[in-house]
Chain A
Amino acid sequence: MRLVSGNLVRLLGYTEVFLCIVGLGLLVARKQWRDYSWLGTFLGIRAGSSLLLIGIHQIVSPLFGARAAYNYYACVYWATAAIESVVTLMIVYSVFKLAMAPLKGLQTLGMLVFKWAAGISVAVALGNAFTPNSAGSYLLTAISQLQRTQSILTLCLLLFVTFAIRPMGLSYSSRIFGVGLGLGIMSTTDLVQSAWTAYHQSINSTYNLIFGVVSCSIFMLWNVYFALPEPKRRIIVLPTTSPFLRWNQISQALGDEPGFVAVGGVPPEVFAPAELEIMRRASAKMPAAAGFPMPKVTDFPASAKRAASSAI
């Protein structure tokens, strides 16, 4: 049973590397690298790390013994897990950016919120790592925390993309949704695995098979999404009362350069003669406002008395 399980784990490892390479090829062949460069980076890192781990298991273990091999294996595994966690955050960021592309205002606002959330996640992860309870394993604790916060952020993105798919002009066949779904499955599995780890203190566990199958299924899912032609984005038609439309307009206005209004202390000398003449005539026609005396024509100096150079 153990031999069969071991062979299956190795087979799944090779399959994972193969699927990652196919995924990279599809990204390049479909000319999607510009939009999904972080996903490509993730696939490259995963293929490289899995190859390295297989190499350590197959070559280092017989040569230097199980203990040395395990140390190398664990270091490579945890280091690549940390890198992949950061790259996954970048994938989530790029997927959100792509999904929100038609709604520029919300995109800008969402990306700002995302940057803050990601920054706080990293700060909290590092903060939790350097507590007295994490004696000796600061790096591991930081990686674990970062993974958890990244997983939660990813699930939030997936929920958002799933429930706001229509206002964004997407469908469930869109690659944006496919990538989000794959990341969501991966994040849930990561969280379940984190809770599971404590009860199975051996690298050789049948549960490896389950997680291996899930991992290969995710890469297969991405490959299918990138192999099939993507349906074009629908024309987005929103009712005028749509909160998406309203918030998009508000967000767009928020990013504008502000105009400036002189509210007081403006001497008449700063105005050009023509401007003064216009104001003088306008004030002559203005009805008296309640509580304020109507400005007199004589409040404004006559333009003929002032040269243009003195006004400047």
Chain B
Amino acid sequence: MSIDWEVVIGLEVHCQLLTREKLFCSCPTDFGAPINSNTCPICLGHPGVLPVLNAEAVEFAIRAGLALECQVRERSVFSRKHYFYPDLPKGYQITQYELPILEHGKLFIEPESGAARTIGITRIHMEEDAGKSIHMDTGATLVDLNRAGVPLIEIVSEPEMRSADDAVAYLKALHEVVRYLSVCDGNMEEGSFRCDANVSIRPRGQAKFGTRTEIKNMNTFRGVQRAIEYEISRHIEVIEGGGAIIQETRLWDEGAGRTRSMRGKEDAHDYRYFPEPDLPVLVLDPAQVERLRGTQPELPAAMRKRLVSDYGLSPYDAGVLTAEPVLARYFEAAVAAHRNPKAICNWVTSELLGRVSATAVDACSVTPHGLARLVALIDDATISGKIAKTVFERMMETGRAPDEIVEAEGLRQVTDTSAIEAIVRGVIEANPVQVSGYRSGKVGLKGFLVGQVMKQSGGKANPGLVNELLDRLLGEG
């Protein structure tokens, strides 16, 4: 009979900050620049160089910490972490060890399975990224230091997750927060959002933690899911088979669907941390922290709540609209221009997202104002919903304003009752078979008649009026 195992998972996430410059020097941080073009003596680790802290990076770190409800440490200290590797130019990384800038936060997660709840965040600290090693088939390794010195925040969770679902939910929630704050672009493929997982198991009810292993190299949410599930099974199999888990770092092999031990590839690390003598203590101005707190952008979870309670949208729609920060901002801008959130929501989720991806709405030729105007034109009966779809197409193609298109193409809805009545009478006269069929109970034929009227009017008759008039005139006969 197998034991009732409890899984214990903690996650460490490294986020590259979207600052203009590197953490300790003024080199640019753009991804994909030519090899070693974003370097200077400081990030190359030349003799004699000294670090100077980037103010923007501090601000971004604080914003992330405030969004995750952390306590801001007024005094935090940078430390050196030593190890030898070709992509670490100084032979040490400048990080924060004993006294990180942020601590004791939390993040609300809603896992696929398992209870929705908050997960504690132990700490967030600032550190510099290392460069990139490119391993060649020739047996050599090439080193590109463009990434060396790029600012990172490392977000460490409490070991409070209990399943792979929990872990993925946490990651997705965290991913959303940092992108909404514009402190990190969350691009897992490019490596700007990297996750390591610490996994262990213990018999349920036992207080002592089991031996944990660390998993690296998970590059997608799906990969995280699979890797953690695999590792949990592996732990169970080993322990139930009478063996013991070795504390080690393992790499996820996406292709093979398994983790592999890194043992033998590196000596046990003695990082020899000590406070960075080239940097003063980081003392934050409480007024600056309060200013940042007061100017935090709205976070997605709060926004979803508001869309449901204030605008009456469904939770599903609220979820779609907030999936990407640019989309959320697009929606809000449209609603600000014309307050019909439900209609705007429908247009965004069906028509707009049917043609443009959520991340590309900023570049779309239909602007939030344009979309809002389109909905306004429907609401004041200038055009029908159906015609509006045509106008929308034109807006996509040409980028012109909806009013312009309506005028230029004569798409104004016909609301003149007598004009429509004339068409309706004409259609009734011209289609006696369908008319008598409808009158004898085949109610489906009304659609045909409506269609005929719309066709006659070039699609411009107000559908509501058409229905009303048809009902009246058909009822009369």
A binds B: no
Residues of A within 8 A of B (CB): none
What is B's interface to A at a CB cutoff of 8 Å? none
